[in-house]
């Protein structure tokens, strides 16, 4: 089923907001992989390892083996699958997430800035999030956006999204605001290690 330019712009904010926030570990401490509480020092010293997804076409360093999830969103263009790779630390308070989604047919003619703006509107819309910073970025020749967002539960979300052909990759880290400086090196390591295969 094809969708026109207008309907694509209408549903994209909701789709792309859900790509990183809907159903992922962010804001859901109950999704922790371990019930043992870790100190910030233990989190910083977690065993980092390379993870790659041949289907997803990326590689990244993560603190521990990520769990994998798939979320299906019903849209006017049909079912759209989002794939999540989540490494959770500190009883769910620290989350490293990579996700990707294939955009539906019918949106390929929408300019990249419009798609990224739709993604930004969906991600930060409403009163739930406070945007601390936002900037245009690139991954090689592919355009993207970077955000730093404060969530209502005193968590800080550092988020990057890239439009790569018909796919949107989102890379995000959630940390308590009180641990932002402690974990800054790990956050940088995670983002800087992301590569397309």
Q: Which of 22-26, 37-41, 47-51, 108-112 has the highest average model confidence (pLDDT)?
A: 47-51
What pLDDT is stored for residue 123 in this prediction? 61
55-105 pLDDT per residue, tens: 999 999 999 899 999 988 877 767 788 899 999 988 888 999 999 988 877
Number of separate domains in the chain: 1
How far apart (Å, rounded) are the C-alpha atoms in residues 148 and 172? 10
How far apart (Å, rounded) are the C-alpha atoms in residues 47 and 42? 10
| CATH of residue 164 | 3.40.1000.10
Whole-number mean pLDDT of the chain?
76
Grade residue 11 by pLDDT with cuts at 50, 70 and 90.
very low
What is the domain range of residue 85? 5-196
133-155 pLDDT per residue, tens: 889 999 999 999 998 888 888 88
Phi and psi (nearest 5°) for 2? -95, 150
Q: 2: which DSSP letter?
A: -
161-173 pLDDT per residue, tens: 999 988 989 999 9
Give every strand in the sheet of 48-53, ordered side by side.
Answer: 48-53, 58-63, 195-196
How far apart (Å, rounded) are the C-alpha atoms in residues 66 and 86? 5
What pLDDT is stored for residue 49 in this prediction? 94
What pLDDT is stored for residue 116 in this prediction? 76
């Amino acid at each position: 089923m094809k969708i026109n330019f207008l309907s694509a712009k209408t549903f994209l904010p909701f789709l792309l907001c859900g790509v990183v926030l809907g159903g992922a570990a962010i804001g859901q401490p109950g999704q922790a992989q371990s019930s043992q509480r870790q100190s910030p020092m233990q989190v910083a010293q977690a065993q980092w390892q390379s993870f790659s997804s041949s289907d997803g076409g990326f590689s990244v360093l993560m603190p521990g083996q990520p769990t994998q999830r798939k979320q299906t969103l019903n849209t006017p263009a049909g079912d759209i699958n989002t794939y999540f790779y989540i490494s959770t630390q500190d009883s769910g308070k620290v989350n490293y997430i990579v996700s990707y989604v294939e955009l539906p047919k019918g949106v390929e003619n929408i300019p990249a800035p419009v798609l990224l703006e739709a993604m930004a509107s969906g991600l930060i819309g409403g009163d739930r999030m406070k945007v601390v910073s936002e900037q245009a970025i690139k991954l090689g020749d592919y355009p993207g956006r970077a955000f730093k967002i404060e969530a209502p539960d005193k968590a800080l979300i550092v988020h990057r999204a890239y439009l790569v052909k018909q796919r949107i990759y989102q890379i995000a880290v959630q940390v308590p605001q009180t641990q932002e400086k402690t974990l800054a090196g790990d956050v940088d390591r995670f983002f800087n290690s992301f590569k397309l295969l």
